[in-house]
Amino acid sequence: MILSTNKAFSPLRDFYLISGLSFILFILVVASFYRQSHAEWKKYQKEFVTYLEQNVSPGSVAAFDVSIKQIWLPELNRVDRCPSCHLGYDQSSLKGAPEPFRSHPDIAPHDISKMGCTICHGGQGFALKKKDAHGEIKHWMEPLLGKKMAKKYGFKDEASLIQINCNVCHRRDGETSGMEMINLAKKIITQKSKCQTCHVIDGKGGKQGADLTFVGDKPSERFDFSKIEEKLIAAGNPLSMLSWHFEHFMNSSAVVPESKMPKMDYSEEEAWALAMLMMSWKNFKLPVMLIPKKAAEPLPPGPEGSVSAISSPADRGKTLFESNSCSDCHTIGKGAEIGPDLLGVSEKREANWLKKMIRTPEEMEKTDPIAKKLFLEYKELGMPTARLSEEDAEMIIKYIESFK
């Protein structure tokens, strides 16, 4: 199309365009100002002022300043703006107020001004919109571990999930009041199950399984959901890390086919408690001032009692037998468990063979025919190697022989 120069040029149309467009721009600018000034949190604060005026003495309201309220914790590199809507959290007089104005239940000795909110509850502390702050959006990894989440999993106790975050700091406690599920899980792993036989936890443990020290940090992309995906969807359970751990504790070979983890026969409650424990094992950098005071106490010792004065070789053998996890798999006279019953083993096997088996079992399982047969017989779990001297091995044999 060749443009004709005969058409009259009318600047008037441009004028109308400018006027019209300017007006539209004005409307849009007004809209932006409206959105900026009518933020969600302002609505809540105005409602709070009204609530205070009606239910508490009107004078207390005079000094209320409608602004963003935040708890800034530079040591934790966090900022929690929850108080911008949860305005009564620090006022004990508002115990009966409706949410979000209700006062926070007493959690002494925890100090909210030093810890903030999200470190326990989860959620996005930076945000000022309800949905964003509660972490109910895509691309935020720490959702609120509260009622809604508990409902998703069908937990009766709505406050149970928050214990996961409690244990991030209280990990070294043997038992903590208010953390029933976590306490149950900790009891299981110290008294009932011997996870460290196969899994490294806190630098100590076996090599058959994965290192669990910071398993809570492992992202979902590193886990295989293919075996349990359909089962979870059918059961209406969320496709999540927590569900994965639950399924794994209930029946590990169903989740990881090549897993050598025996079926532990946990109840569903126990499996969920353990799954929560796993999610709480995170590498969290805790400032010194927030370390729980009870952390100095070690985990309660095993049922056999503490190590004290050793007298006879058999006693020393007993200590070695228990402290090197032998008793985790072997009984002496109580039947075969993960490994064979050792009652009378020194009559069945040669002394040298026994010593070699105690000191270098993995090598033996590869080269020695008897060891190989036992390996296959006991589900190919394999006996882990402990660092023991020849003298130690002799003491252990003496200890086993002391059983009649």
Partner 1 sequence: MKAKILRLWEKMTWSWSPRSDREASESVVKNFWLHWFPSRIYRGSLSWGYSLWLGTFSACLFIILALTGILLLFFYVPSVQNAYWSIKDLENVVAFGWLLRSQHRWAAHLMVGAAFLHLVRVFLTAAYRGQRVWNWYIGIALFIATLFLSFSGYLLPWDQLAYWALTIGTGIANAFPLIGKSIRFLLIGGNTIGQSSLLRFFGLHNFFLPAVLLFLFALHMWRIRKDGGLACVDHLVLKTKSTDITVNPTKTYSLLGIAEGTTIQVSTTEVLDEKNSVHASPHLARRIAVVLLLTTILTLFLALLFPAPLEEPANPSITPIPAKAPWYFLWLQELIATTTIKIGKITVSGGLIGGILVPGFLILLALIWPFLDKSPQECIGVWFHKSRKRQNVVFLLLCGAVIVLIIIGVYLRGPYWNFYWPWQNWPTIPTLY
Partner 2 sequence: MKQDQTKLTRRFFLGLLGKLSILAALLAEAVGAIKAFIPQVLYEPSLKFKVGKADEFPEGLTFLPESKLYIFRDGNDFHAISAVCTHLFCVVDWKPDRQGFSCSCHGSVFSKEGINLSGPAPKPLPWFALSLASDGHLVVDSQKPVGRDYKFSI
For the stretch 390-394, contacts whose Cβ atoms lie closer than 8 Å and that sit 24 or more positions apart, written own/partner, are: 390/355, 390/359, 392/320, 393/354, 393/355, 393/358, 393/359, 394/313, 394/355
In whole angstroms, the minimum distance from the beta carbon of 124 to partner 1 comes to 8
* Residue 204, strand partner residues: 201
- Interface with partner 2 in residues 356-385 (CB under 8 A): 362, 366, 382, 385
**Chain residues in the site for partner 1 (CB under 8 A):** 1-3, 5, 7, 9, 11, 14-15, 17-18, 21-22, 24-25, 28-29, 31-32, 35-36, 68, 77, 81, 126-128, 132, 139-143, 145, 149, 152, 161, 219-223, 225, 229, 233, 238-242, 244, 279
Total number of residues shown for the chain: 404
Q: Which segment (47-55, 95-103, 130-138, 256-264) binds partner 2 by CB under 8 A?
A: 256-264
Pick the closer one to partner 2 by CB: 197 or 243.
197
What is the Cα–Cα distance from 297 to 291, expressed in whole angstroms?
13
Peptide bond into 292 cis (omega under 30): no
221 binds partner 2 (CB under 8 A): yes
Cβ–Cβ < 8 Å for 278, 243: no
Give the nearest distance from C-beta 114 to partner 1 in angstroms.
20
| Closest approach of partner 1 to the CB of residue 281, in Å | 14
238's contact among partner 2, partner 1, none, with CB below 5 to 8 A by partner kind, is: partner 1
Residues binding partner 2: what is the number (CB under 8 A)?
22
Q: Does 200 bind partner 2 (CB under 8 A)?
A: yes
Which of these ranges, 8-16, 185-193, 196-204, 241-249, lies near partner 2 under the rule CB under 8 A? 196-204
Verify binding: residue 227, partner 2, rule CB under 8 A.
Answer: yes
Q: In Å, what is the CA distance from 3 to each residue of 11, 115, 244, 293?
A: 18, 72, 70, 85
* Integer Cα distance of 122 and 161 in angstroms: 10
Q: Please say which residue, 179 or 357, places its beta carbon nearer to partner 2.
A: 357
Category of 380 on φ-ψ map: left (φ > 0), alpha (ψ -120 to 50) or beta? left
- Give CA–CA dist 138/130, Å, rounded: 14
**Under 8 Å between Cβ of 126 and 111:** no
178 binds, among partner 1, partner 2, none (CB under 5 to 8 A by kind): none
Nearer to partner 2, 178 or 257 (CB): 257
Stretch that binds partner 2, among 75-83, 92-100, 251-259, 293-301 (CB under 8 A): 251-259
Instruction: Locate 132 and state its tokens.
Output: 């964003």
Of the pair 165, 176, the CB lying nearest partner 1 is at: 165
Measure Cα distances from 340 to 150, 359, 375, 383, 398 in Å. Answer: 43, 17, 10, 11, 18
Token pair recorded at residue 192:
């009932």
Closest contact distance (angstroms) between CB of 374 and partner 2 is 17
Is 285 a binding residue for partner 2 by CB under 8 A? The answer is: no
Residue partners of 214: CB distance under 8 A and separation at least 6? 281, 282, 283
Token pair 């929850």 in the structure block, residue: 82
Per CB under 8 A, residues contacting partner 2 are: 198-200, 203, 206-211, 221-222, 224, 226-227, 256-258, 362, 366, 382, 385
